[in-house]
């Protein structure tokens, strides 16, 4: 029986992780839950699931049988709790970085959905992994696909990692026409149903930019060895091209419960609640090369990966802040890209050798986006 803690349990990934646990009562038992907002939904989960431990950002009324605590220190304590076997990291944004480091230091298996912490955490995550018994198992569908395809060969035999991208709802629309996109339009994702921020990131392609850096961190490859391929149907989740010309691909229906479950059970594969893929029922699978001039978000991600240091942190922090401003109606859709580009231009690189350096750089990038937004009039 594996004891599972879900950090970010009220979110899209968190709720699907609970589904996976419910589907396999003989394999998994729930140990801990945490959330940041959605008090009502979280209280509902506590009553229904009765975890041993739970952490919320603010005080909540007691729930019989649940050891309830509040705030970030309690969250870090839960992340590193020796009683749990697997920690599903489903918190969104850079807020997941400290819990990730706490879980790895405690030697946990971390089923990691959160990509912002990997993009920003770089060397700190590497050090935490090399020092202890902790392990990272990717949940992000593209990274899970790469992880699975990489099991078919040796590292030095790999020529390219090929990340697929749905392209979001606007990939065929001309750049000029993106100016007036509203949050409502940006939240209509063609193939995946996800949290608000990642759905927006998919429309701006910032998500794919983050995933290029995430893949580099997880599998230790340079940007030159990572390609992006637009695949609007989201059936092929990513591929690995080997040096003999063989390409291994990972296919399934777009259902996050598959990669969530695999990260929890690896190296075992067990039946899943997801519907099976019948290729004859699928629309034609299409693939396009992304236009790097059109998708500035992708080009900036490759540049940040190459430049290293704090650039990936600025890319992420500026994008997180720009997303908040876009949802608040204070920044246009293209303003997201433009403000990230502005923050990167203003930034002077420095090494990210401590958590403080990372958090300072994150804060700086947010201030730069605010500066950008205050100097442009929008609406």
Mark 223-262 with x for binding to Mg ion (rule: CB under 5 A) and - for no binding. ----------------------------------------
When binding is defined by CB under 5 A, the residue of 142, 320, 337, 338 that contacts Mg ion is 142
CB of 250 to ligand NAD, least distance (A): 14
Name the minimum Å distance from CB 140 to Mg ion: 4
Report the partner that residue 142 touches, choosing among Mg ion, ligand NAD, none (CB closer than 5 to 8 A by kind).
Answer: Mg ion
Structural tokens at position 121: 């955490």
Which of 17, 84, 90, 216 is in the footprint of ligand NAD by CB under 6 A? 90
Pattern of binders to ligand NAD over 24-43, x per CB under 6 A?
-----------xxxx-----
Closer by beta carbon to Mg ion, 10 or else 141: 141
Contact between 256 and ligand NAD by CB under 6 A: the answer reads: yes
Q: Which two tokens stand for residue 116?
A: 């912002």
Q: Where are the alpha helices (DSSP H) in 27-165?
A: 39-49, 72-79, 97-105, 116-131, 141-149
- Position among 5, 11, 339, 368 found at the interface with ligand NAD (CB under 6 A): 11
The only residue of 32, 84, 106, 140 in contact with ligand NAD, by rule CB under 6 A: 140
- Partner that binds at residue 242, options Mg ion, ligand NAD, none, CB closer than 5 to 8 Å by kind: none
> What is the Cα 28 distance to its own chain's centre?
23
Give the Cα separation of 246 and 284 in Å (integer): 22
Q: Is 211 in the site for ligand NAD (CB under 6 A)?
A: no
Three-state DSSP class for residue 236: strand
User: Whole-angstrom Cα distance, residue 160 to residue 162?
Assistant: 6
Q: Which residue is nearest to Mg ion (CB)?
A: 140
Q: Answer yes or no whether residue 290 interacts with ligand NAD by CB under 6 A.
A: no
Q: Is 14 in the site for ligand NAD (CB under 6 A)?
A: yes
Measured from each CB, the residue nearest to ligand NAD is 11
Burial class (CB in 10 A: 0-12, 13-18, 19+), 329: exposed
Considering only residues 292 to 351 of the shown chain, the ones binding Mg ion according to CB under 5 A are: none
Contact pick of 23, 153, 192, 242 for ligand NAD (by CB under 6 A): 192
Does 95 help bind ligand NAD (rule: CB under 6 A)? yes
User: What is the Cα–Cα distance from 128 to 117, expressed in whole angstroms?
Assistant: 13
Q: How far is CA 80 from CA 86, 90, 102, 107, in A?
A: 10, 15, 5, 8
Shortest gap between Cβ of 348 and ligand NAD (angstroms)? Answer: 27
Q: Which does 70 bind (CB under 5 to 8 A by kind): Mg ion, ligand NAD, none?
A: none
- Measured from the CB atom, the residue of 102 and 150 that comes closer to Mg ion is 150
Classify residue 196 by burial, with Cβ atoms within 10 Å: 0-12, 13-18, 19+.
middle
CA 214 to chain centre: 8
With contact defined as beta carbons under 8 Å apart, do 116 and 320 qualify?
yes
Single out the residue of 81, 116, 140, 337 in contact with Mg ion (rule: CB under 5 A): 140
Residue 366 touches which of ligand NAD, Mg ion, none (CB < 5 to 8 A by kind)?
A: none
Measure the CA–CA gap between 217 and 291, rounded to whole angstroms: 24
DSSP for 64-100 reads TT-EEEESHHHHHHHHT-TT-SEEEE---SGGGHHHH
- Contact between 81 and Mg ion (CB under 5 A)? no
Distance CA 144, CA 138 (A): 5
* CA pair distance 243, 79, nearest whole angstrom: 40
How far, in Å, CA of 149 to CA of 248, rounded? 6
Smallest gap from residue 159 Cβ to ligand NAD (A): 25
**Contact flag: residue 124 with ligand NAD (CB under 6 A):** no
Tell me the window of 14-22, 39-47, 137-145, 291-299 that interacts with Mg ion (CB under 5 A).
137-145
Binding site for Mg ion (CB under 5 A): 140-142
Interface residue list for ligand NAD (CB under 6 A): 8-14, 35-38, 90-93, 95, 113-116, 140, 192, 194-195, 197-198, 256
């Amino acid at each position: 029986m594996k004891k599972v803690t879900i950090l970010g349990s009220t979110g899209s990934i968190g709720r699907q992780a609970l589904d996976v646990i419910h589907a396999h009562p003989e394999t998994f038992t729930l140990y801990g839950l945490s959330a940041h907002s959605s008090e009502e939904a979280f209280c509902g989960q506590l009553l229904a699931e009765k975890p041993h431990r739970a952490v919320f950002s603010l005080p909540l009324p007691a729930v019989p049988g649940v050891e309830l605590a509040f705030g970030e220190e309690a969250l870090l304590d839960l992340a590193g709790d020796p009683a749990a076997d697997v920690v599903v990291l489903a918190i969104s944004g850079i807020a997941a970085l400290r819990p990730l480091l706490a879980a790895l230091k405690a030697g946990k298996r971390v089923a990691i959905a959160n990509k912002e912490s990997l993009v920003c955490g770089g060397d700190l995550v590497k050090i935490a992994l090399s020092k202890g018994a902790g392990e990272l198992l990717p949940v992000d569908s593209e990274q899970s696909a790469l992880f699975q395809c990489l099991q078919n060969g040796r590292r030095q035999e790999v020529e390219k990692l090929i990340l697929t991208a749905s392209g979001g709802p606007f990939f065929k629309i001309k750049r000029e026409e993106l100016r007036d996109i509203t949050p409502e339009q940006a939240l209509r994702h063609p193939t995946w149903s996800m949290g608000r921020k990642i759905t927006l990131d998919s429309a701006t392609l910032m998500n794919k930019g983050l995933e290029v850096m995430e893949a580099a961190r997880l599998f230790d490859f340079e940007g030159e060895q990572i390609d992006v391929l637009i695949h609007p149907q989201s059936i092929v989740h990513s591929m690995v091209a080997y040096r003999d010309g063989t390409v291994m691909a990972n296919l399934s229906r777009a259902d996050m419960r598959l990669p969530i479950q695999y990260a929890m059970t690896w190296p075992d594969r067990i039946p899943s609640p997801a519907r099976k893929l019948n290729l004859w029922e699928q629309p034609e699978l299409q693939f396009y090369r992304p236009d790097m001039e059109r998708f500035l978000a992708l080009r900036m991600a490759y540049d940040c990966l190459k430049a290293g240091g704090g650039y990936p942190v600025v890319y992420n922090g500026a994008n997180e802040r720009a997303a908040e401003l876009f949802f608040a109606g204070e920044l246009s859709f293209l303003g997201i890209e433009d403000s990230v580009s502005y923050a990167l231009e203003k930034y002077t690189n420095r090494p990210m050798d401590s958590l403080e350096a990372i958090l300072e750089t994150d804060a700086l990038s947010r201030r730069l986006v605010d500066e950008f937004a205050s100097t442009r009039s929008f609406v």
